[in-house]
Amino acid sequence: MRGILAQLNISDGGMPKKPIDQAQVTVDGVNGDWQKNRNYHGGPNRAICLYSEELYQGLRDSGVNVSNGDIGENFTTRGINLQHLKKGDRLKVGQCIIELTDIRIPCYQLKKWDPDLPELIVGRSGWVAKVVKEGMVRQGDEIVLE
């Protein structure tokens, strides 16, 4: 299974995350990214959040006006079906390797885009992951399931 890193995103806390061209990814996440509430976001098993352009399209088809980075993901993917992955799968993205640790739990903050979004996103909420191998990541990098 292969895909592309369509967009690499960071923020100074919360959503949306804004695109950047490249960044170093460490066990703490994408350099330059920050979460205000570290009790629920971030940490070694939640260093990276993934969401896909395909899942965004499904939300737009449901009437929710969202685009890459709005859901708060670090890695916006294209061409890799996140719903076919499982906990423990490893993805090589650029020079780094991440391991999926859990399905992302929809956050109440998603209501800023649509009051029903936390319920709409259930079953298509993306993943969180830990960083197994640190490295540089660039928008457009290939994503490969190891």
**32-63: per-residue pLDDT in tens?**
998 654 555 567 899 999 999 999 999 999 99
pLDDT at 44: 84
pLDDT at 73: 95
Cβ contact 86:70 at 8 Å: no
Burial class (CB in 10 A: 0-12, 13-18, 19+), 72: buried
pLDDT at 35: 67
Residue type (1 letter), 126:
G
Measured CA angle at 22 (ends 21, 24), to 5 deg: 160
What radius of gyration, in Å, describes the C-alpha atoms of the chain? 14
**Beta bridge pairs of residue 72:** none
Q: How do beta strands 48-52 and 75-78 pair? A: parallel
How many domains would you assign to the chain?
Answer: 1
Q: Quote the domain boundaries for residue 49.
A: 2-145
Provide mean pLDDT across the span 109-127: 88
Confidence of residue 29 (pLDDT cuts 50, 70, 90): very high
Summarize pLDDT for 62-109 with one digit per residue, the tens: 999 999 999 999 999 999 999 999 999 999 999 999 999 999 988 888
pLDDT at 122: 84
Report the candidate in 109, 96, 103, 98 with the shortest Cα–Cα distance to residue 36. 109
Worst-scoring range by mean pLDDT, 20-24, 107-111, 140-144? 107-111
CATH number of the CATH domain containing 16: 2.40.33.20
pLDDT at 40: 52
Distance between CA atoms of residues 121 and 84, nearest Å: 16
What pTM was estimated for this model as a whole?
0.94
3-state secondary structure of 92: strand
22-26, strands of its sheet edge to edge:
29-30, 22-26, 135-138
